[in-house]
Structure 1
Amino acid sequence: MGSDNTAVNFSDLVNRNKQTLARLKESPRLVLHRRDGEDLVLTTAARDEQDRTVVSAATRMLSAMARREPGSMELLLDILPDAFPWVRFLPEPDLHTFAVELVDTMRAADSVANSASVAQLLTAWQHTAEIHSDPELLAALTRSHDTDHGPVPDPREDA
């Protein structure tokens, strides 16, 4: 969460709701800390709509730019390390694949107004970059395993 957010306990919302909700005038979002669950974020419907509009516009612009001309993909590849420094660990073909998947996934996610798939894609590619950043881990994961241990038994047969 950015510094524009105010954090309060969920109990403040329950016990002092008017005072707590009044804080939305000072801050675009309230982070509600919960003892027995994941923290929640409270914002106004207008702010949420503004955020979605901005993300949607940026997504459409990036997508249009990437499809416009051949040189635009090279520009995207040039700026990705500024936005995601970890891409420097990706091999060149993977960097290109990441760029294409990112634009396509952002466009698809925007069409259904749900960014979960973009977050998942970024996390998966970041983990891939982390593997490439560690030569020992990369060697262990890409090593050829010539040993065949035979067919795997069906676990349902043991039941």
Structure 2
Amino acid sequence: MATRTFPFSTLINKQTSVFPALDDADVILERRDAENLVLMRSERFDAMVKGLGLAARSLAIVARANRALAEEVFAEELPWLVWLPPEARPTCTAELLDHLLAGAETGLLLPFARALREWQSTAEVYSDPELARRLRGPFDTADAAEPDRPGSADD
């Protein structure tokens, strides 16, 4: 699908420039001090949600019938899975599939995006054996200080 990009101020000042672009493209509104916004026609949005739902449910069915195949599919699309320990890959795959399926059903895909980012970050740590070793501990706590708890008498 094609996208067109406009500064957010164009929507405010010249709506007639932005809305016609929605006939054949989704519109990204760039904002300086906040996340960009996306405008799209509801027909395209509904089609995207339905397509995602179908794809997620289909992948979940494959995963239930053949977990190894689902992991292979994910490994193809997410090459950083190879950095995870072999025993963590099924957990990663299951968690991502569960979040994707729930997101496809509800339209709430941020939990899936967070889980994907968290698993990738975990894999990146494992890609550096020295960093992974240091993060596993043990930790030298001789110079550590106990932080004040919010709402304590010292506040």
Task: Answer whether TM exceeds 0.5 for this pair.
Answer: yes
Say if 2:121 is the partner of 1:127: yes
Give 3-state SS (helix, strand or coil) of 2:6's partner: strand
Number of aligned residue pairs: 153
* Residue number in structure 2 paired with 1:116: 110
**Could you tell me how far 1:145 is from its partner in structure 2?**
3.2
Say if 2:7 is the partner of 1:13: no
* Residues 100, 112 of structure 2: 8 Å contact kept: yes
Q: 1:86 aligns with which of 70, 73, 80?
A: 80
**Could you tell me how far 1:146 is from its partner in structure 2?**
6.9
Structure 2: gaps spanning 5 or more residues: none
CA separation of 1:143 and 1:54: change in aligned 2, threshold 3 A: same
**Could you tell me how far 1:151 is from its partner in structure 2?**
9.9
Structure 1: gaps spanning 5 or more residues: none
**Could you tell me how far 1:37 is from its partner in structure 2?**
2.2
Worse-matched range after superposition: 80-89 or 30-39? 30-39
* Residues 27, 39 of structure 2: 8 Å contact kept: yes
TM-score (normalizing by structure 1): 0.85
* Residue number in structure 2 paired with 1:43: 40
| Percentage of identical aligned residues | 31
* Residues 2, 24 of structure 2: 8 Å contact kept: no
**Could you tell me how far 1:39 is from its partner in structure 2?**
1.2
Instruction: Supply the RMSD in Å over aligned alpha carbons.
Output: 2.2
The 5 Å alignment of 1:131-150 reads 131-145=125-139
The 5 Å alignment of 1:91-110 reads 91-110=85-104
